[in-house]
Each structure stands twice: as structure tokens, then as C-alpha cells.
């Protein structure tokens, strides 16, 4: 029976696994060249023509291929994962002449994947192969069938010599698939708005919503705008109508542009300093030129601003710098996107 490792030894082993995988990714980045760009060409052309990127692999390569396919689909590149064995039992019918195929095999010799590639090669479909371990200078069976061959150049798996399970090779395959998907999306000018339409649910979907969809204080509806010439007391009376009271007053100039903000915290400090200052005009006590968000901003922009500047309220303005609403940190806390 093996002697249990000490906690320190276990941590060092884990760090070694991560370092080795990180080094492999760095090495892979340096090897990218013409073949990678040709692969992006094939994928982009396929998507532009209305085709589907079919991704196939067996075992762990198949699981990684499913993730690559899902990433492509989320980036506007039609894609499906196909099990190579199922393909031989009827799923070949899903392959069309306008499709492109990504075949994944670390050894490049996985029988089912090579057989699928052979059939598709005869049908004239473009094939991108992703293979891993370097065995010799000769191309693998899968590489010989490929239109474009991408090689990971992974000399060994992390965990060697104790374990032979796929680790570094699957990590590198996943990263290479991400690079293919992102480069293709970038070339096709895929936008955040299109990404948001494909992710309407969950925290990711919430982050891609416009801030105007989530702010509850809207100018002209339940957010009064007060003139900078008004006194603090007049402004408070002005804003004392029914409904949800905002945590700040938005102060505008004579042209209706945002001139400043006066928060509940400002009010507390003013009253504690001297209650007579309630009679002073807002222009003397407000915070001028507060940080703002444009009305075209996304929720993720608001989250970033709240986290960076720790503000509780952010005015939202239009192109003319006129207030359209006030985004409160409570709005984002209710969506569980920030914490107090």
C-alpha cells in the first residue's frame, strides 16, 4: 500500500499539474500559424453559407467536442456534436455538403473517428482535425484525411508518470476550440447584442440586459428632476410624492442636463452639520459631475462601475446628457449580481 502523501506534498503535486497545463497552453499559443487561420476560414465560410460545424470525438474528446460545439453555437456559429459511433448508425444523414467537420482524437488513430472522417472525406466535406500527442514525424491517420490538421504537440499528460488519464491534452483541445470559436466570431463581427439574444436566462443573460430594462427609477415617471436653483428643502418637498422614493435627487440645469446629484448621505451630513443649510440652493451642496452611465449601457457595465467606485446610485443619461433614470445598487442586489 502506498504511503499517504503529506498535505504539503499533495499541494505541490496539484500545483505541478496546473503549471504543466499552463506551460502546454503557452507552448500551443506559440505554434499557431497558417493552418489555424485556414481552419477559421473553413468555419467562417461554413457559417456564412448557412452550414453547420459538426464536431465529433470519442470518450473525453467527445465531451470536449460537445463543449466546443456549444461555444460555437452561442457565438452565432451553427454547430452540433455528433457521436462517431452513432454517425455510423444513421446520424450520417445530418451531414450536408455545406457543413464543416471538426474531428478530435488525441492519438489521431481512434478507429471510429478515423472511419467517420474517411466517409466524410469521400463526400467532399472539409475536415479539421485536432490531434495531440507527438509520436513521430509522420502524420496520423486522421491528419492524412483532414483538410486542415491542427496538432496540440503535447508530449505528455499532466500527472505523468503516476497517471496516464487525459489531462493536458483535453485542456489544450478545449482552449484551441475556444480560440477557433472566438476568432471566427470576431471575423464575422458577432456582437454582444447577438450574444445576449442567445443567453436570455441566468446571470449571464442578466448582465447583457440594457440598464434601462432594470432601473426602477425612471425620469418623468417616479423620479423627479429638481432644478439646481431650488433649495434643499424645496427639492425634498418636490420629491416627496407617492411611490418608491429614490436614494438620491438628480439635479438639472436650465437646459435639462444633469448638473449634479444629491444623495441621502449628503442630506444626513448637511443636517448634522447645520440644519439651516436646508435653505441653501442645491448647486451649493450637490456633487457635481457625478459618474454616469449612458442609456445604451448594459447591466455588466453598471456592475463594473459599482464594484470599482462603490457608489450606491448611478444616474443614467441620454446622448444630450439629460437624465433618463437612476440605477440603484439595490436593483442589482435584487438580481444577485452584486453583494452589499
Report all structural domains of the chain as residue ranges with CATH numbers, in order of start: 15-190 (3.40.50.10490), 207-334 (3.10.580.10)
Mean pLDDT along residues 175-185: 96
Q: How does pLDDT run across 32-61, given as a tens digit for each residue?
A: 999 999 999 999 999 999 999 999 999 999
Nearest-CA neighbor of 102 among 136, 144, 168, 52? 52
Q: What is the mean pLDDT of the chain?
A: 85
How is residue 58 written as a grid cell? Answer: 470519442
Burial class (CB in 10 A: 0-12, 13-18, 19+), 139: middle
Query: If you average pLDDT over each of 93-107, 148-162, 243-257, which comes out highest?
Result: 93-107
Higher per-residue pLDDT: 217 or 87: 217
pLDDT recorded at residue 329: 73
pLDDT recorded at residue 1: 43
Q: How does pLDDT run across 318-338, given as a tens digit for each residue?
A: 999 999 988 887 666 554 544
pLDDT recorded at residue 136: 64
Q: How does pLDDT run across 85-143, given as a tens digit for each residue?
A: 887 766 787 899 999 999 999 999 999 999 999 999 999 999 999 998 766 668 899 99
pLDDT confidence of 161, banded at 50, 70, 90? confident
Q: How does pLDDT run across 271-317, given as a tens digit for each residue?
A: 888 888 888 888 888 888 888 889 888 888 878 887 777 777 888 99
Q: How does pLDDT run across 224-240, given as a tens digit for each residue?
A: 888 988 888 888 887 77
pLDDT confidence of 241, banded at 50, 70, 90? low
User: Looking at the predicted structure, is the pLDDT value of residue 16 above 60?
Assistant: yes
**0.75 cut: is pTM over it?**
no
pLDDT recorded at residue 185: 93
Amino acid at each position: 500500500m502506498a504511503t499517504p502523501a503529506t498535505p504539503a506534498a499533495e499541494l505541490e503535486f496539484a500545483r505541478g499539474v496546473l503549471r504543466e497545463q499552463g506551460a502546454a497552453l503557452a507552448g500551443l499559443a506559440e505554434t499557431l500559424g497558417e493552418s489555424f487561420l485556414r481552419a477559421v476560414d473553413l468555419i467562417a465560410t461554413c457559417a456564412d453559407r448557412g452550414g453547420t460545424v459538426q464536431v465529433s470525438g470519442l470518450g473525453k474528446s467527445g465531451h470536449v467536442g460537445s463543449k466546443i460545439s456549444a461555444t460555437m453555437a452561442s457565438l452565432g456559429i451553427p454547430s452540433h456534436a455528433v457521436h462517431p459511433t452513432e454517425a455510423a448508425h444513421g446520424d450520417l444523414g445530418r451531414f450536408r455538403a455545406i457543413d464543416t467537420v471538426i474531428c478530435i482524437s488525441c492519438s489521431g488513430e481512434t478507429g471510429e473517428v478515423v472511419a467517420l472522417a474517411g466517409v466524410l472525406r469521400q463526400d467532399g466535406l472539409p475536415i479539421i482535425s485536432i490531434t495531440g500527442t507527438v509520436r513521430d514525424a509522420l502524420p496520423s491517420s486522421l491528419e492524412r484525411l483532414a483538410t486542415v490538421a491542427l496538432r496540440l504537440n503535447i508530449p505528455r499528460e499532466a500527472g505523468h508518470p503516476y497517471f496516464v488519464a487525459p489531462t493536458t491534452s483535453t485542456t489544450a483541445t478545449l482552449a484551441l476550440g475556444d480560440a477557433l470559436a472566438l476568432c471566427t466570431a470576431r471575423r464575422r463581427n458577432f456582437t454582444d447584442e447577438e450574444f445576449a439574444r442567445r443567453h436570455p436566462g441566468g446571470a449571464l443573460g442578466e448582465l447583457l440586459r440594457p440598464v434601462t430594462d432594470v432601473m426602477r427609477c425612471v425620469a418623468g415617471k417616479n423620479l423627479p428632476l429638481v432644478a439646481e436653483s431650488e433649495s434643499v428643502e424645496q427639492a425634498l418637498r418636490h420629491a416627496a410624492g407617492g411611490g418608491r422614493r429614490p436614494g438620491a435627487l438628480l439635479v438639472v440645469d436650465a437646459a435639462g442636463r444633469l448638473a449634479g446629484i444629491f444623495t441621502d448621505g449628503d442630506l444626513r451630513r448637511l443636517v448634522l452639520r447645520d440644519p439651516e443649510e436646508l435653505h441653501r440652493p442645491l448647486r451649493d451642496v450637490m456633487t457635481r459631475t457625478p459618474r454616469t452611465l449612458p442609456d445604451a449601457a448594459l447591466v455588466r457595465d453598471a456592475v463594473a462601475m459599482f464594484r470599482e467606485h462603490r457608489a450606491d446610485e448611478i444616474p443614467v443619461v441620454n446622448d444630450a446628457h439629460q437624465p433618463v433614470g437612476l440605477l440603484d445598487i439595490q436593483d442589482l442586489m435584487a438580481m444577485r449580481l452584486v453583494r452589499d
